[in-house]
Amino acid sequence: MSLLSVADDFTQPGALRRASERINRDKPEIFCLHGIDAGDAFAMATRFDCDWAYRGGQALFWLPAFQAHEVHDRYLPSPPLRPFERRGLLEVDGERDGHPLTLIGTQLSSDRAHVREIRFVRSVARRCDGTAILFIDRFDAAEHRYGFADLGFTLAVPGIYIRA
């Protein structure tokens, strides 16, 4: 299964084109775009003819090999003194080849507020049954005492953790 996670400033000219070129080149079955607007996410889903889910700048996309059953769209806890800075957390429960699979996509803040956000993401990841794929932007396991290894996740490529 091929996976891709792309984080960019999608408000800048050319960012969607760069992401599209990368998706077209890598041809992932499942991919996540961090920091994208809802309209741009819809355009990407249409362009690549895939199913998708969106919440607060996070968009997960998948081809028909993955069959979604339920989408949970939440927001991460808002950072102190910045109540309008909201980043989403998507959780898509489904199956691939008859086996349960959960997709999780989110983007952490770049300051100390990410500690609360990591706790929230860990609680969501802990509740997942079976195989799960976590697409997470702005997280480096080497910098954090508590990552996702104790929950059974291993780093597949930067920004993508898998629990088989």
pLDDT tens-place string over residues 17-46:
999 999 999 999 999 999 999 999 999 999
- Residues 79 and 134: their CA atoms lie apart, in Å, by 22
Residues in the chain: 164
Mean residue pLDDT of the chain comes to 90
The residue extents of the domains of the chain are: 3-163
Mean pLDDT of 136-157: 81
pTM of the model: 0.91
For the sheet containing 88-96, what is the strand order?
66-75, 88-96, 99-107, 131-137, 160-163, 154-157
Report the share of the chain in percent with pLDDT over 90.
66
Give me the pLDDT at residue 143, please: 64
Give the closest residue to 23 by CA, choosing from 45, 39, 42, 38.
45
Given a cut of 80, whether residue 13 has pLDDT beyond it is: yes
**Residue with the two structure tokens 């991919």:** 31
Quick one: pLDDT band at residue 146, thresholds 50, 70, 90? low
Residue 142 has pLDDT above 70, yes or no: no
Strand-pairing partners, residue 154, are: 162
Q: How many other β-carbons are positioned within 10 Å of the β-carbon of residue 24?
A: 10
Q: For position 86, what pLDDT does the model report? A: 78
Q: How confident is the model at residue 109 (pLDDT cuts 50, 70, 90)?
A: confident
Secondary structure letter of residue 146 according to DSSP: S
Question: pLDDT tens-digit profile of 57-100?
Answer: 999 999 999 999 999 999 988 777 777 777 899 999 999 999 99
What CATH class does 3-163 carry? alpha beta
pLDDT for the residue numbered 126:
92
